[in-house]
Homo-oligomer: A and B are copies of this chain.
Amino acid sequence: MSDAVCKACQGVWPSKDLLIIELGLTKAYLHDDQFFPGWTVVVFRRHATELFQLAPTERFQLMEEVSHVAKTLGAIFQARKINYELLGNQLPHIHWHVIPRLATDPAPLDPVWRVPHEVVSPSADQLRDRIGRIRLGLETASDRPPR
């Protein structure tokens, strides 16, 4: 099920260049602003806007995939904490922001939205490297959720 005016359903967002991996019910993309290194967006494949619109089995699978991404990012970036956010204020289609907060974080006590910064856009080489490392981590985890 897709929505004719939804940028996620229509493939307008996120950029295909940022795709990390296709999981069972979601696709994971690197966030286009990498000021917080490893910030990843986990996008539900079908159109839905609230957790409670999903069947319990879908909700379970979705959260297994979000948890899998979080664990992998935590290990790769040696995160002190992971932030998990499902907002949808601008784009209601379910997408999870999964944000590793590192030891080098400039404002570790604050939500990322409160941290003023210039957008960090990695070079093509840096993107390929970062996406590749996260993909490898997700693919090779022994506790990867079944599809």
Contacts and interface: CB of A to CB of B under 8 A. Distances in A.
Contacts of A63: 51, 59-60, 63
Interface residues of A, number: 34
Task: Please report whether the interface of chain A is mostly helix, strand, loop or mixed according to DSSP.
Answer: mixed
A71 B59 CA distance: 14
A84 B52 contact: no
Interface in A60-86: 60, 63-64, 66-68, 70-71, 74, 81-86
A69 to B, nearest CB: 9
Given A63-B51, A67-B59, A70-B50, A84 B85 contact: yes
A137 interface: no
